[in-house]
Structure 1
Amino acid sequence: MVLCNSLIYANGKGSRPQPVLIPPLVRQAIDSGVVRVVGSGLNRWSTVHLDYMADLYQLALTEPAAAGFYFVEGGEDASFTEIGAAISRRLGLGRVEPWGLASAGAALGEGFAHYALGCNSRVRASRARALGWRPSRPSLTDWIENDMPLP
């Protein structure tokens, strides 16, 4: 069985307690005073709260019918512009600006800027839901605004 996670968010434990995509945007905003999103910011990633991802792993290990490949997503909460707006509200900053790929690539690395922050990654967990998995959670933007630790 293979479980393919989407953008995981929440306050975790261990060597990487934060999601991969959000902290670089937060650090950039703190350093510059402006929240920037790569390109137009209309791109979306499927997301899943850590607790509900763990619920699916538990179900996959205990449900006899579980076999094969499963996407793990709890929805598409927001575009990157909306994510940027949540970061802006959390930090008390006033605006979200588009960030050209060349500038973002120079600051964050071309591959990360283009293939992570500047693209879509959209999947559906229809097979996981067919097993009875029902993710419900605070949205990614709620987590950013209320629970995300700041550096």
Structure 2
Amino acid sequence: MKTVFMTGVTGYIGGSVAARLLKAGYQVNGLVRNEKDIVALTAVGIQPVAGSLEDEAVIAREAAAADAVINTASADNPYVVATILEALAGTDKKFIHTSGSSIAGDKARGAYAATEPYTFIPKNPRLEKAARVAIDRAVLAADGHYSVICPTMIYGTGTGIKKDSVQVPMLTEAARETGHGVYIGAGENRWSNVHIEDLANLYLLVLEQAPSGSFYYAENGILSLKEIAVAISKSLGFGGKTASITIEEAIRRWGMEGAHFGLGSNSIVSSVAAHNLGWLPVHNNLLSTIIKNDRD
């Protein structure tokens, strides 16, 4: 049985990826900080490794001992990535780093910006995303069997400990508080999206088949934020009623990152590389999932 060391196993992406790997017959050793999470991970078959992202020695030891490593804890932590790369140097062990498609984002404040879908890392990302892009490029340039997966707006119920995603729940909470769906500005900005189960399947596929130095966007659909707001409104019994908020209001509610690059931007990408690898996503309707999940 092959062993995969993972960071982020208590999170939405990491927990779902770990569950998929366990189902495929892998042993998963997961970095975990809290005692209560140790109990929960053990219950689902994950071998807990006590430590945090600041425990470089623990991360290095576990990375070196495992057959492969997957980082889902942070797209923006260069220390964790550097520690893993150093631990795997000179080996042919696989490493998958998790980025995020806000690297292709703009600061549109809810406006639609027509653009060709990105298929690779942007050559000239916005300054706010330059550090994340630098990590992605460093992983791909390193001498080893390394890949980067870049999820888009993720939806669906997680199959690990954490069940909820980020962006859709942010909008749902705001709708519950205000009595209507919300979007920033005109709400015409668009995001590519992907179901969590399809995303977990992509991690397994990349782990088993991807060549070194490969980069994959994960997407299977695209929607405007206004369309999502309408669906949330209907799901909560508000009859599709929506209202716009300003970027300033959004910043007060969600912070700079959440407002500008989580919900106010365009992030339009293509998963052509993943499809070429053999990825076959089966979920393609974020709107119906919103309505079903909230009604359930």
Paired AA for residue 19 in structure 1: S
1:100 pairs with 246, 251, 255, which one? 246
Contact 2:220 2:284 in 1 (8 A): no
What's the TM-score once normalised by structure 2's chain length?
A: 0.47
Q: Could you say which residue in structure 2 is the equivalent of 1:91?
A: 236
Q: What RMSD over aligned residues (CA atoms) do the two structures have, in Å?
A: 1.8
CA distance in 1 between partners of 2:253 and 2:216 (Å):
34
Distance 1:16 1:149, change over 3 A: farther
Displacement of 1:15: 5.1
Deviation at 1:59? 1.2
- The alignment status of 1:29 with 2:175, answered yes or no, reads yes
Matched, 1:5 2:151: yes
Shift of 1:7: 1.3
- Residue 5 of structure 1 contacts residue 72 of structure 1 at CA under 8 Å; is this kept in 2? yes
Greater CA drift, 82-91 or 105-114 = 105-114
**Secondary structure at the counterpart of residue 3 of structure 1:** strand
> Which has the larger Rg?
2
Q: C-alpha deviations, 1:66-114, integer Å up to 9, x for none?
A: 33111111121x2111100100110111311111111121222233112
2:262 pairs, out of 77, 91, 116, with 116
- Of 139, 143, 146, which residue of structure 1 is paired with 2:285? 139
Q: Tell me if structure 2 keeps the 8 A contact 1:86–1:144.
A: yes
Q: Which amino acid aligns with 2:194?
A: V
Aligned pairs for 1:62-77 (under 5 A) are 62-63=208-209, 65-67=210-212, 68-76=214-222
Contact 2:251–2:258 (8 Å) recurs in 1: yes
* 2:198 is the counterpart of 1:49: no
Match for residue 275 of structure 2 among 110, 113, 129: 129
Moved more, 35-44 or 66-75: 66-75
Aligned-pair CA distance for 1:148: 4.3
SS at match of 1:135: coil
Q: Distance in 2 between matches of 1:122 and 1:61?
A: 25
Distance 1:54 1:13 in 2: 9
Find the counterpart in structure 2 of residue 81 from structure 1. Answer: 226
Alpha-carbon shift at residue 13 of structure 1 (Å): 4.1
Gaps of 5+ in 1: none
Structure with greater contact order relative to length (CA < 8 Å, sep ≥ 6) = 1
Structure 1 residue 56: Cα displacement: 1.1
User: Residues 149 and 114 of structure 1: is their aligned pair in 2 closer, same or farther, counting only changes over 3 Å?
Assistant: farther
Instruction: Give the Cα–Cα distance (whole angstroms) in 1 for the partners of residues 211 and 281 of structure 2.
Output: 17
1:25-48 residue CA offsets vs partner (Å, 9 max, x unmatched): 111111111211011111111111
Q: Which one has a larger percent strand, Structure 1 or Structure 2?
A: 2
The question of whether the paired residues in 1 share the 8 Å contact of 2:235 and 2:295 is answered with no
Report how many aligned residue pairs link the two structures: 148
* Paired letter, 2:158: G
Percent of pairs identical after alignment?
Answer: 36
